[in-house]
Amino acid sequence: MKPQPRITQVDVFPWNLAFKRPAKTSRDTLLHKPSWFIKLTDDQGREGWGECSIIPGLSVDEPLAIESYLSEAAALPPQQAWEIPTALPAVQFAFEMALNGLRNGHELNFFPGAFAEGTSPIDINGLIWMADPEGMLNQARHLLKNGFTTLKMKVGTLPFDAELEWLSALRKEAGQDVVLRTDANGAFSRIESGWTPLRKLEALADLEFHSIEQPLHPSDLSGLAELCACSPLPIALDESLIGVRGREHKAALLDAVQPNFIIIKPSLIGGFVEGQDWVDLAEDRGIGWWATSALESNLGLYAIAQWAKDGVRTRHPLLLQGLGTGGLFTNNIPGPLQVEAGKLINRTGGQWPNLASFLTQG
């Protein structure tokens, strides 16, 4: 048997992604996103690139633990992503990315197929960030004008009466054919006079929303299970998946809560193998899923898009994905990814930069 190539070198490039404008959710307001790009080199001279990027306050990984591990990895390179501690899911994601590219014979060929070849775009939702109501409506108008047929908006910072008012205006302006998804980031756990979580979901269902992500805090599994049992609006679990490792624990979560959908963010859950595990368990239970960026750079976004389109094993047609986040940063890695008419497109004529040179020159 031919021996497997060994990783002989790990190079690390710290990078602080800077948002063009504050990215506000009900949980936090983000100005920067700590990131580390890694380059793996094997004993045949092949290279692979990965991205470790975290959302402070949400990602399991702690920056000091990431830096400590990457320093150790530079001295003693891991050969498989599963060798990396499960307490560092974003690092696992980065190494799995890099190993896939390296072993597929091209540093950015993470999952060979139609998306990497530029022959098949991905349908995505347009994302509306939190702002004042008129600002959010303006974002929606811009997205609709640019061909999006599905919009997703963050909710949970305004009093619900005010939120319902602007969401009603959005539904009226968008028309019934536009699909509306929403994400509460757990905000409906807050007590608000006159509005129980169920009443809020009923009001959104009256506006014919498609679904809501994470209405209650991730740890409130009993509350989520109760809502899923009676809500007229389909519920998706997102943050509740973070930190749940092992097939038995994942199955137990899905069986206890019985959501309609799950949202898969590979860098928050430990990579693509972990993502496939969630897909398999969800589909066994009739639960739908889609993949979403955890606000990675274009590099991480490119890998997730390849996985969602060509790498994942699924028994059903792909639902519309949440991958339209490449335009958020002032210092993103330039590349051939473009968003047109509600689709993420890989323009094969476009070029990625020499990543080492780009990240070194800053």
Instruction: Find the CATH number of the domain harbouring 27.
Output: 3.30.390.10
Does residue 1 sit within a domain?
no
pLDDT of residue 361: 83
Q: State the Cα–Cα distance between residues 302 and 310, nearest whole angstrom.
A: 12
**Which of 33, 152, 154, 200 does the annotation list as catalytic?**
154
Q: Could you confirm whether 154 is annotated as catalytic?
A: yes
Using the structure block, give the residue that is written with the tokens 């060929």.
109
How many domains is the chain built from?
2
Q: Are 210 and 275 members of one domain?
A: yes
Q: State the Cα–Cα distance between residues 305 and 114, nearest whole angstrom.
A: 11
DSSP per-residue string spanning 177-197: TSEEEEE-TTGGGS-BTTB-H
pLDDT tens digits, residue range 4-17? 779 999 999 999 99
- Residue 237: CA atoms inside 13 Å, Cβ hemisphere, count? 29
Type of residue found at 138:
N
- pLDDT at residue 23 is higher than 90: no
pLDDT of residue 21: 83
Contact of 321 with 290, CB cutoff 8 Å: yes
Type of residue found at 174:
A
Q: Which has the closest alpha carbon to 337: 360, 291, 304?
A: 304
Q: State the Cα–Cα distance between residues 185 and 196, nearest whole angstrom.
A: 16
Residues ≥6 apart with Cβ < 8 Å to 20: 327, 328, 329, 330
Range of the domain at 179: 114-351
Q: Which of 4-18, 94-108, 235-249 has the highest mean pLDDT?
A: 235-249
Q: Are 251 and 338 members of one domain?
A: yes
Contact of 281 with 314, CB cutoff 8 Å: no
**Which of 33, 200, 265, 309 does the annotation list as catalytic?**
265
State pTM to two decimals. 0.95
pLDDT of residue 116: 92
pLDDT tens digits, residue range 126-137? 999 888 889 999
Instruction: Find the CATH number of the domain harbouring 234.
Output: 3.20.20.120
Q: State the Cα–Cα distance between residues 54 and 268, nearest whole angstrom.
A: 8
Does residue 212 sit within a domain?
yes
pLDDT of residue 259: 98
pLDDT tens digits, residue range 247-287? 999 999 999 999 999 999 999 999 999 999 999 999 999 99
Number of other residues whose CB lies within 10 A of the CB of residue 338: 14
Does residue 108 sit within a domain?
no
